[in-house]
Amino acid sequence: MALEDIRNERLAKIDRLEEAGMAAYPARTLRTHAIDDFLENHGTLEANNEQVTIAGRVLAMREHGGSLFVDLFDGVKGQCFVQREKLGEAAYDLFARAVDTGDIIEVSGMAFTTKRGMPSLDATGWRMLAKSLLPLPDEWFGIKDEDERFRKRYLDILLTKDLAERIKRRSKFWNVIRSYLLERDFIEVETPVLETTTGGAEARPFVTHHNALDMDVYLRISAGELWQKRLLIAGLPKVFEIGRIFRNEGMSAEHAQDYTQLEFYEAWSDYEAGMRMITDLYRTIADRVYGTRAFSIKGFDIDLDKEWQTYDYCALMQEEYDLDPLDERADWASALKKRDIPFEKGAGIGRLVDIAWKQIRKTVAGPGFLINVPVYLEPLAKKSEKDPRVVERFQVMMAGSEIGKGFSELNDPIDQEERFGRQQKLREAGDEEAQMPDAEFVEALEYGMPPAFGFGVSERLFSFLEGVSIREGQIFPLMRPR
């Protein structure tokens, strides 16, 4: 039957309900038990002959000797037995003629156990709570087209138990992180989403217009890095934010345009202490969310329990390309051309070196930390005391990707202003992802910021641990309108 014909038929059933004096969309339910509570206490309810009302969506109806077995779902599935003699002639006929799979109903009755040992509800009454006008896809086959699944995510979740469980794990994932930090005396903060300059990352921002102030503003590209460091200056030694950030860039299995990110900053710490902390944090996430530290990710076997490796950025690049990343005169364009690796014409050394690094990155299993990155690649990290040509920055390496970044925060206002100046030159040369200078942040640094460690990780970590793309890991990924 055509979809429009099904809809018209179900609209007619609303008239049938109203003629019988039953509302199709009442405001309240008389539910006494959630289905999981009903099942958990079924033996006691049955022994006490206690009247019970449960409610949920009709997932299936099976006729059996003039009666109906009805599967209800409210997040947990339960079974009702609908008999003509128990329900009454008029109520049974209305049920049979007006209820479809997909409808949300409530059923009252007594707990009983079927001959096959199935805990059930023997119905003595029922009411419609929300009449569905469109049919659900088949429960066993669901929605196979990925575009349709993302557009009708509510149906995908309803029909796919693993997806519903993933949403629960996603909530647990972020709350484990939140609890981990709160237990260590960090303060959760909120920082601006609309900014006059973007800071804390290298990315192309979204631009919008602020009507009241009549000016263009940017959606933030980091979870408040420069704002949180202002709070360190203000005397709050441990701060964090879990929030949405926005980057107007390409889409891939690992990249989305709006996603959730954690950033935290701790005064009186550095990136070496940070490595120990992040190792413990990732293991804690694995333990509390998944109950294991071993994962299979993108063809790599990842064991977070083993000793984490340290990878030297410059050494790996030198070995692979026979070029020194610390030499800004090195001909990286020729090296990329020789390997048929594409890059944009006029790209600066930072972009070329990054493209070259990404070829190596694919082979790094991890877990471990990538260190010794050249200063020109990181405008916000402190220079190494051992070698001022590199910064005290690490990136968490896992399954051929970077899953988190931390560094000893740059707190020298003169050095910071110089690095912002270099980023501005890159922007003037056409690099839209280079960081915008923030004179007010430099001024804040001039009041003095203590030595500090900062770290950020996005929901990419969650998608990796789940073994899915970042879009699949999101609840409602962005879709182009039809």
Domain boundary pick from 108, 136, 164: 136
Residue 437 and residue 406 in one domain: yes
| Judgement on whether residues 117 and 180 belong to the same structural domain of the protein | no
The answer to whether residue 183 sits within a structural domain is yes
Considering the domain architecture, whether residues 49 and 89 belong to the same structural domain is answered as: yes
Beta strands in 288-392 (DSSP E): 294-297, 300-303, 309-312, 368-371, 373-374, 390-391
Number of domains comprising the chain: 2
DSSP string, 225-274: HHHHHHHHHTT--EEEEEEEEE-----BTTB-SEEEEEEEEEET--HHHH
**What CATH number does residue 416 fall under?**
3.30.930.10
Q: What is the DSSP letter of 405?
A: E
Q: Are 395 and 368 in contact (CB under 8 A)?
A: no
Same domain, 448 and 384: yes
**Residues pairing with 216 in the sheet:** 209
Domain that holds residue 416: 156-308+366-473
Q: Are residues 64 and 101 in the same domain?
A: yes
Rounded CA separation 258/248 (Å): 8
The Cα 135–Cα 385 span in angstroms is: 66
Asked if residue 103 and residue 218 are part of one domain, the reply reads: no
Q: Domain check: are 38 and 174 in the same one?
A: no
Domain boundary among 136, 168, 187: 136
Q: What is the DSSP letter of 46?
A: H
**Within this chain, do residues 120 and 184 fall inside the same structural domain, yes or no?**
no
Query: Residues 113, 191: one domain?
Result: no
84 and 202 part of one domain: no
Residue 434 included in any domain: yes
Q: Is residue 338 part of a domain?
A: no
Q: What is the DSSP string of 87-105?
A: H-HHHHHHHHHH--TT-EE
Boundary-marking domain end, from 77, 103, 136 = 136
In 3D, which of 15, 4, 35, 2 has the Cα closest to residue 104? 35
pLDDT recorded at residue 1: 81
| pLDDT (0 to 100) of residue 430 | 82
Beta strands of 116-200 (E only): which ranges? 119-130, 187-188, 194-195
Residue 76 lies in a domain: yes
Report residues of the chain scoring pLDDT below 50: none
Please report the pLDDT score of residue 435 as a whole number.
87
Q: Is residue 479 part of a domain?
A: no
Residues 196 and 253 in one domain: yes
Do 164 and 128 fall into the same domain?
no
Flag whether 303 is in a domain. Answer: yes
Q: Are strands 393-398 and 368-371 parallel, antiparallel or unpaired?
A: antiparallel
Instruction: Tell me the CB-side half-sphere exposure of residue 37, using CA atoms within 13 A.
Output: 9
Q: Is residue 383 part of a domain?
A: yes
Is residue 176 one of the residues assigned to a domain? yes
